C-alpha cells in the first residue's frame, strides 16, 4: 500500500464524512447516489449495532477506498454467535492495484474481532473475491437460485428473447419509501428463529425484520400469508418476466417453527402469484437451508448462479463449524440493500 495513504477504522460518522464516503463509493461502483438517510439506516441503525468501516484517505483527506462489515447474529443449536456480513467494498479507480483492498479488509476484520465478532461472511463479486481469498476466507460453495414459472408462455418468450436459459439477474423495483411500519403484520412481530444442530442459522427476530424491511424499505416489499406460513417478498423483473422474489418464509405461529413442506410452499407461492399476476416466483438459499430440498417438489427449478459465498472464522473454535458448508441463510442475509 502507498505511503501517502492512511487507514482508519470507525463506527461513528459525521455529515461530511458520510458525504465523502458516499461520493467515493458512487464513483467506484458507478451507481446512483443513495443519500445520507440510507447510510444512517444501513450503517448506523441496525438492531445489532453500528457497522465497522475501514477507510483509506490520501494526504488531502480524500477517501480512496472503504470496507464495511455490518453486525449480524447467527445461531448454532441454541448458541448465539456474533458475526459480521460484508456491507461495502470499494477502491476508487485512482488507487487500484496498490494492495489497498487487502489492507482495508484486514483492518476491518481485526476491528470486528476486537468488537466481539467470531465469524464474518460475504457474497463478493468476481472482482473482490480473489482479495478475500488472499486473506484466508473460505469458499462455502456458492448460493442457490430457485425459480418457479407461473406463466410458461411468458417465460418461454423470455428465453427466446434472451437466446437461452440464462435470463440474467432480477432487477428489483425500487421503493425508497419513508416507512412501511404500519404494514408489519402481528405474526411477524412474533418471529423468532429456532437453532438447528450442526447448522449455522441466521438469528431471526422481529426487530431485525422491522429494521430490514419496514423502517426504510429500499425495494418494493410486500407481506403475504397463506395457511400456517407467511413470507416477505419483493417485486422485480427478470429477462422481461415479472417476478416475485421471496426473501423469507416464516411460520405464523412461533410455537410451530417447523420448516414448510412442499405442499405449504406451493400454496403460498400460488397465493402470491394470484395477488400480483407474476410470471415467476423465485427464492434464494444456501444449500443447508431446511426448505431447499423441498423446493423441487414445490415446482421450483434451480438455475445457474455465479455468486460466491465466503466466510472467515475469527475464532479458532468455529473453524470446523464454519467450514462444513452447513449454513441456513435466505435473501434476508444474502442480498445487498
- 107: CATH: 3.40.630.30
Q: Which of 274, 244, 20 is nearest to 148 (CA)?
A: 244
Does the global pTM surpass 0.75?
yes
DSSP E strands in the chain: the ranges are 6-10, 52-57, 63-76, 79-91, 119-122, 138-139, 144-149, 171-172, 200-202, 221-226, 229-238, 241-251, 280-285, 301-303, 310-313, 327-328
Whether residue 30 sits in one domain with residue 127: yes
Instruction: Answer whether residue 185 is part of any domain.
Output: no
Query: Domain residues for 50?
Result: 6-139
Mean pLDDT of all residues in 234-249: 90
Mean pLDDT of all residues in 129-145: 88
Mean pLDDT of all residues in 145-169: 64
pLDDT in tens, 322-333: 776 788 899 999
Whether residue 299 sits in one domain with residue 163: yes
Whole-angstrom distance between the N-terminal and C-terminal Cα of the chain? 30
Q: How far is CA 265 from CA 114, 158, 250, 283, in A?
A: 41, 25, 11, 11
Buried b (16+ CB within 10 A) or exposed e, 253-274: eeeeeebbebebbbbbbeebbe
Confidence of residue 181 (pLDDT cuts 50, 70, 90): low
Query: DSSP 3-state assignment of 128?
Result: coil
Whether residue 237 sits in one domain with residue 135: no
Query: DSSP 3-state assignment of 43?
Result: helix
pLDDT reported for residue 163: 47
Q: Which sign does the torsion angle of CA 314, 315, 320, 326 carry?
A: negative
Instruction: Choose the most confident range, by mean pLDDT, from 39-48, 123-132, 320-329.
Output: 39-48
Whether residue 106 sits in one domain with residue 56: yes
* Total domains in the fold of the chain: 2
**Residue after which a domain boundary falls, among 94, 113, 139:** 139
Q: Are 311 and 119 in contact (CB under 8 A)?
A: yes
**Residue after which a domain boundary falls, among 139, 160, 188:** 139
Whether residue 27 sits in one domain with residue 101: yes
Amino acid at each position: 500500500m502507498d505511503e501517502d495513504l492512511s487507514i482508519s477504522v470507525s463506527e461513528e460518522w459525521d455529515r461530511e464524512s458520510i458525504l465523502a464516503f458516499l461520493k467515493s463509493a458512487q464513483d467506484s461502483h458507478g451507481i446512483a447516489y443513495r443519500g445520507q438517510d440510507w447510510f444512517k439506516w444501513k450503517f448506523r441503525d441496525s438492531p445489532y449495532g453500528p457497522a465497522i468501516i475501514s477507510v483509506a484517505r490520501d494526504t488531502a483527506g480524500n477517501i480512496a477506498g472503504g470496507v464495511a462489515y455490518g453486525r449480524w447474529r447467527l445461531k448454532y443449536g441454541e448458541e448465539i454467535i456474533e458475526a459480521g456480513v460484508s456491507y461495502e467494498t470499494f477502491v476508487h479507480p485512482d488507487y487500484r492495484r496498490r494492495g489497498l483492498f487487502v489492507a482495508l479488509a484486514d483492518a476491518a476484520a481485526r476491528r470486528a474481532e476486537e468488537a466481539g465478532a467470531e465469524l464474518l461472511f460475504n457474497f463478493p463479486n468476481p472482482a473482490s473475491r480473489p482479495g478475500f481469498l488472499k486473506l484466508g476466507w473460505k469458499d462455502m460453495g456458492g448460493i442457490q437460485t430457485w425459480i418457479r414459472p407461473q406463466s410458461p408462455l411468458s417465460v418461454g418468450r423470455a428465453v427466446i428473447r434472451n437466446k437461452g436459459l440464462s435470463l440474467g439477474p432480477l432487477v428489483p423495483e425500487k421503493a425508497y419509501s419513508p416507512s412501511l411500519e404500519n404494514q408489519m403484520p402481528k405474526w411477524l412481530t412474533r418471529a423468532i428463529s429456532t437453532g438447528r444442530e450442526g447448522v449455522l442459522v441466521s438469528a431471526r427476530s422481529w426487530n431485525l425484520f422491522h429494521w430490514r424491511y419496514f423502517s426504510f424499505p429500499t425495494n418494493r416489499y410486500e407481506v403475504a400469508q397463506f395457511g400456517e406460513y407467511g413470507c416477505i417478498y419483493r417485486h422485480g423483473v427478470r429477462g422481461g418476466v415479472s417476478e416475485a422474489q421471496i426473501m423469507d418464509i416464516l411460520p405464523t405461529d412461533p410455537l410451530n417453527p417447523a420448516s414448510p413442506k412442499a405442499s405449504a410452499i406451493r400454496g403460498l407461492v400460488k397465493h402470491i402469484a394470484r395477488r400480483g399476476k407474476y410470471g415467476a416466483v423465485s427464492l434464494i438459499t444456501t444449500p443447508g437451508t431446511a426448505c431447499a430440498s423441498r423446493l423441487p417438489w414445490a415446482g421450483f427449478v434451480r438455475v445457474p448462479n455465479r455468486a460466491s459465498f465466503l466466510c472467515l472464522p475469527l475464532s479458532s473454535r468455529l473453524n470446523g463449524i464454519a467450514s462444513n458448508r452447513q449454513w441456513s441463510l435466505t435473501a434476508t442475509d444474502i442480498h445487498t440493500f
